[in-house]
Each structure stands twice: as structure tokens, then as C-alpha cells.
Amino acid sequence: MDIETLIPHRGRMKLIDRVLDLNDEESVTSTRVSDLWPLHRDAFVDPLILIEVVAQTAAVHISSRMKSGKTADRRGWMVGIKNADFFWDRIPVDTLLTTTVKNMYNLENYSVLEGEVKAGSDLLCRVQIQVMRASDEETTG
């Protein structure tokens, strides 16, 4: 699956490498930590970047479920962090990450999702995000 059809991120802001699983309840992606990522320093990245990894996996999940079009919604979304727990202080470059995002709540253009990022069996973070998408009426009027 071509991730670039599901998310608008490009260059060093595209943090997701592969979609491993995609269904109505959850989406699973993988990526390898790169020294090109934002928040990289001294062969590590700050775990705050995992919020964006979860957000991009959420974008894959939501975009794959939307019925309009086959490319990423480029209008932009408002994303809020409802809760975030980090279990690692820093993440080494080349670490293989697996991110799972699950639906918690959906209402029209508003969603709450929970994401977990793991390195092997180690849990790096758990994040709940809120996503508000522009409706078609808001962008055509």
C-alpha cells in the first residue's frame, strides 16, 4: 500500500514507512527511526516525535476509511493530544518501531484514537489524540 495516498507528509516529515495491517478497528504501521527525523540529536530522537508517528498512523487509519477519493486529504486536520505517556527517555536511530492506532470514539468529523508505539515487545509510549477534520461544506462554501 502506498502511504503517500493516505497521508500528505513528505520528505523528513513523512515518518511512516509501511502499513502492516488496516481494518475498521485499528491500523498498524512500521518505521525505522532516522537521523533525518525532527528532534534528532546525538544518534537518538526525542520521544516527543512519537506523537507525530501516532498522528500519522491515525491519518492512515482515518484516510483509509473515508469514502471520498483515493488520495490523502490535504486540507489539514486539527489534532489535539488528550493524553500521552512516555516510557523511554530517548530512542536510538535505526530502532524499528511498530505503531498501533485504535478507534475509541467517532462522531461525524471528530475522532478520538489511542496509539501505542513499540520497539519489539517494549512499549515506548501510549498516546490518545483527538482529530477534527474539515467537512466538505466548510471547504466548498
Domains with residue ranges and CATH for the chain: 3-140 (3.10.129.10)
Residues paired with 130 in a beta bridge? 80, 112
Tell me the average pLDDT of the chain: 86
How many CA atoms lie less than 13 Å away from 85 in the CB half-sphere? 7
Does residue 71 have a pLDDT over 90? no
What is the reported pLDDT for 74?
53
Position with higher pLDDT, 132 vs 92: 92
Identify the band that residue 135 occupies on the pLDDT scale cut at 50, 70 and 90: low
> Could you report the per-residue pLDDT of 14-65, keeping only the tens digit for each?
899 999 999 989 999 999 999 999 999 999 999 999 999 999 999 888 887 7
Q: Which residues 6+ apart lie within 8 Å of 51 measured at CB?
A: 81, 84, 125, 127, 129
What is the reported pLDDT for 102?
97
Distance CA 91, CA 47 (A): 7
Distance CA 54, CA 116 (A): 7
The CA–CA distances, whole Å, from 61 to 66, 76, 103, 138, 140 equal: 9, 15, 9, 22, 24
CA-CA-CA-CA torsion for 111, 53, 29, 122, nearest 10 degrees?
-110
Cell digits of residue 59: 491519518
**Helices assigned H by DSSP within 1-141:** 49-65, 136-140
What is the reported pLDDT for 139?
44
